[in-house]
Amino acid sequence: MLSVFWGKQKYVTIKPREPSSGPVADGLWTRCPSCSSLLYTKELTKNLSVCDRCSHHFRMSAWDRVLHLLDADSFQEIDQDLEGGNPLGFSGYEQKLAKSREKTGLTEACLTGEGRLSGHQLVFGAIDFGFIGGTMGTVVGEKVCRAFEYALTKRLPVVMVSAGGGGARMHEGILSLMQMAKTSQAVERHSQAGLLYICVLTDPTMGGIYASFASLADIILAEPQALIGFAGPRVVEETIRQKLPSGFQRAEFALNNGMVDAIIERKELRKVLARLLLYHDRGGRQLC
Amino acid sequence: MLNGVFEWEKPLIELEKKIEELRRFTKEEGIDFSAEIATLESRAENLRHDIYSRLTPWQKVMIARHPRRPTCLDYIELIFDDFFELHGDRTIRDDPAMVGGIALLEGRPVTVIGPQKGKDTKDNIARNFGLPHPEGYRKALRLMRQAEKFRRPIISLIDVVGAYPGIEAEQRGQGVVIAENIRQMSFLKVPIICVVTGEGGSGGALAIGVGDRILMLENAWYSVCSPEMCAQILWKDTKKAEEAAESLCLTAQDLLAWKVIDEIIPEPPGGAHRNHETVAMTLKEALLRHLQELEAQGADELVAKRIDRYRQIGVVW
Ligand SMILES: [Zn+2]
């Protein structure tokens, strides 16, 4: 992988992936954007939205993350009614919110709650890319904050699954930016109490979400090939006026550069999280 | 813009030139033009008010980017009695796009940090147009931690359109460094005063922008990203930057209304570039005043209030 940056370099232009609206909604067949195979949608869903030919990880909705990772019927959503308005009066924003609410069934881009993962009680949060690209405005910031505060009060670990395409939400201007400070502080207060926070970076985790709570976990995991970074690849390409190296800002790039602890395939994710939660079990009892 | 004069202020600048000429004439030729000068002066005053009291957000962005607008080092020179610059992040290199060091403010040591734009093309290239790499932010954090150790207040002078978007910057963890700065600044046990002096763009500004007092110059802008970036992301068209500037509510007046900032530092008519000395002295007075208030508070109270300030942003809308 490092050879990409040293010696003879092969440059390719990165094509931003088509936002897959989740394979479930697309009818009987779904085409894999990576290997172009035509996949039977039902099978794909059963396979955790991972292509069984090339192991391309499709994006997952926040609720699918809950279904995949948490013990059946253990999840209790918190702050589900928290809904934002249009503080800046940004033109077209209300319509955008309404459309996203209809499409995802969520009130905002972030889903938070308490649940169990292999028997471990925890606070769980997931960002939904389908909701304005999983961007963080005031409500997402507030929900993330409250989730950490709730975990602090109940002395629970936090597992977050991040996916924020654009990072901070443009339509809420400076107020979005300030959520980076607010969420970082909530993470730190939780951390100072000696509590565990694991973040799973999924495709894509960029900008303000990456540069705040998503980077501040005790343990940072990433899904294979997830786009992870601060500046968007197109912005980088336009700034430096040269083609980007292949694999730029993918999870493997982040791992090689020391920005994540491990890349975990989706089918292993639940097991790995359970193992890490067990290591940090508060009882401090002897393991195995 | 021609010779540092904006299109919208041209009539005024021409009038000012005429007044200046008449003054010179009076002096050199001994002819009395005082009546003419007085008439022109009052016309200029009206014009000044007319032009500068209703600047659009985009015009303010332009003023904030004026090539002769004071830079971080200009303010340091004008405000502080002494300055010793400290270099390097102790990991990879010294980032010239970010400066920092120990300065004396009315005789008392403070730590000053801030992105540094270039004075001309050559300087700008050396300073990467004031766009810091991760090591720049790491240097700033190192100096802030040092300030905490020696109980020096921190003054952060912010003028940055954003963190540098480059391959190496991403490799070295631009996002991680910004998050780390935000986290650590939030809990530093010394007073922090941040001043948005020019541009305040995205996480690149917030990474040196968490504090107990946030001040902002009259024509500075501060938002989630630059108007160009916003236009590019939302409408795939950087030419709509002017429209984006309107939509983003990025002026000092907007931010004061949101309570994101605490005070607006007035600029000379037309912008800070028209009189460095005046704006620096106004800022100095504000720094001293806020520092006095902050230093009356205990360290724990300071941090608690700082956290609470951010906790309240965007709670109920
Ligand atoms: Zn495939």
CA-derived radius of gyration, chain A: 19
Same domain, A30 and A71: no
Q: CA B144, CA B184: separation in Å to the nearest integer?
A: 9
Judged by a CB distance cut-off of 8 A, whether residue B230 touches chain A is yes
Please name the member of A141, A216, A230 whose beta carbon is closest to the beta carbon of B170. A230
Same domain, A177 and A106: yes
Judged by a CB distance cut-off of 8 A, whether residue B266 touches chain A is no
Q: Per the domain annotation, does A100 fall within a domain?
A: yes
CATH topology of domain B61-312: 2-enoyl-CoA Hydratase; Chain A, domain 1 (3.90.226)
**Size of the A and B interface in Cβ pairs below 8 Å:** 176
Q: Per the domain annotation, does A3 fall within a domain?
A: no
Same domain, A185 and A233: yes
Q: Calculate the CA A43 to chain-centre distance.
A: 23
Exposure b/e, A178-207, CB count within 10 A at least 16 = b: bbbbbbbbbbbbbbeeebbbbbbbbbbbbb
Q: How far is CA A32 from CA A29, A35, A229, B20, in A?
A: 10, 6, 24, 72
Same domain, A82 and A31: no
Supply φ then ψ for residue B258, to 5 degrees.
-80, -5
pLDDT digits (tens, 9 = 90+) for B247-256: 999 999 999 9
Is B199 in a helix, a strand, or coil?
strand
Q: CA A217, CA A221: separation in Å to the nearest integer?
A: 9
- Predicted confidence at residue A26, as pLDDT, reads 53
Same domain, A31 and A156: no
Share of chain B above pLDDT 70, in %: 99
Q: Per the domain annotation, does A44 fall within a domain?
A: yes
Contact A229 B175 (CB under 8 A): yes
Q: Per the domain annotation, does A6 fall within a domain?
A: no
Q: Per the domain annotation, does A4 fall within a domain?
A: no
Query: SS in 3 state form for B64-102?
Result: HCCCCCCCHHHHHHHHCCEEEECCCCCCCCCCCCEEEEE
Q: CA B313, CA B222: separation in Å to the nearest integer?
A: 15
Same domain, A76 and A212: yes
Q: CA A86, CA A137: separation in Å to the nearest integer?
A: 10
Segments forming the whole domain that contains residue A28: 18-58
ipTM for this model: 0.95
Please name the member of B164, B224, B310 whose beta carbon is closest to the beta carbon of A176. B224
Same domain, A246 and A265: yes
Q: Per the domain annotation, does A285 fall within a domain?
A: no
Same domain, A30 and A102: no
Same domain, A65 and A167: yes
What is the full DSSP assignment across B117-185?
A: --SSHHHHHHTGGG---HHHHHHHHHHHHHHHHTT--EEEEEEES-S--SHHHHHTTHHHHHHHHHHHH
Chain B positions in Cβ-Cβ contact with residue A182 (cut-off 8 Å) = 310-311, 313-314
β-strand A228-229 against A197-206: which pairing, if any?
Answer: parallel
Q: Which of A1, A95, A136, A230 is the best residue to mutate to test the B interface, defined by the most B CB atoms within 10 Å of its own CB?
A: A230
Please name the member of B169, B248, B310 whose beta carbon is closest to the beta carbon of A185. B310
Q: Per the domain annotation, does A9 fall within a domain?
A: no
Same domain, A134 and A155: yes
Packing angle between helix B174-186 and helix B299-311, nearest 10 degrees? 120
Q: Is A219 left (phi over 0), alpha (psi -120 to 50) or beta?
A: beta
Angle at A146 between CA A144 and CA A147, to 5 degrees: 65
Judged by a CB distance cut-off of 8 A, whether residue B316 touches chain A is no
Higher pLDDT pick, A267 / B25: A267
Q: CA B95, CA B135: separation in Å to the nearest integer?
A: 6
Write out chain A's pLDDT in tens, 288 residues: 333 333 333 333 333 334 444 444 457 899 999 999 999 999 999 999 999 999 999 999 999 999 999 999 999 999 988 988 899 999 999 999 999 999 999 999 999 999 999 999 999 999 999 999 999 999 999 999 999 999 999 999 999 998 776 689 999 999 999 999 999 999 999 999 999 999 999 999 999 999 999 999 999 999 999 999 999 998 999 899 999 999 999 999 999 999 999 999 999 999 999 999 999 986 555 555
Q: CA A59, CA A46: separation in Å to the nearest integer?
A: 14
**What is the CATH number for A90?**
3.90.226.10
Angle at B203 between CA B201 and CA B207, to 5 degrees: 110
The total number of structural domains that make up chain A:
2
Structure tokens at A206: 């960029």
Same domain, A29 and A114: no
- Predicted confidence at residue B238, as pLDDT, reads 86
Same domain, A52 and A187: no
β-strand A110-117 against B108-115: which pairing, if any?
Answer: unpaired
